[in-house]
Structure 1
Amino acid sequence: AINISRRQSPPRGAYPFGAWQSACTVLPEFFSEAAKQERTTRLTTMDTPFLYKFLLGTMDSDFQAEDLSPTSEDLDTSFAPDGTAPSSTVDEV
């Protein structure tokens, strides 16, 4: 698997001939749905199909079907937005 993955990689160099895109030269068209779909298709079918299929195959289909979006019942609201415990709930030592 490692040897196959090493042989498959996105083309080196600058977009559109390579997979690297400079933030200095990026154009709005780069973010269009058609351009994103083209890059995804190229990456998963031409550049790294083995890695793509391997990762999909290792994912548990039951896990993918689960709804992972949190609800108010699932959220722990005991912490402040900055991640610290509110002073009223901190145990004093």
Structure 2
Amino acid sequence: MKSYKALAPVALFPGTVVHLTTAQARIRAHALEKQGKGNTFLVTSRIEFKAGESFKVDGDLPKNLAELVEPEEAQTAVPPAPPAPSPAPAPPAA
């Protein structure tokens, strides 16, 4: 499953398999069907996530959602080191 963070409101449609927290699943219980053990569900009716919510999806998200989500792996990656300071310019010759 791939982890995502919503940057704006995001809707997922029936047929999508998601992994949610217990709290997320409780709120959306009317639109989910439990799949095996754990917190994996089949979406049976449209569900939405608020900006800032994290969720996992089995498979790839539709391309139209690419600008609305950020892969969670991008947030946990080590940021690049800042560039080394450049040496001070030499004073002009007299």
Q: Higher strand proportion, which one? A: 2
TM-score, structure 1 normalization: 0.22
Answer 1 or 2: higher relative contact order, Cα 8 Å, separation at least 6: 2
Higher helix share: 1
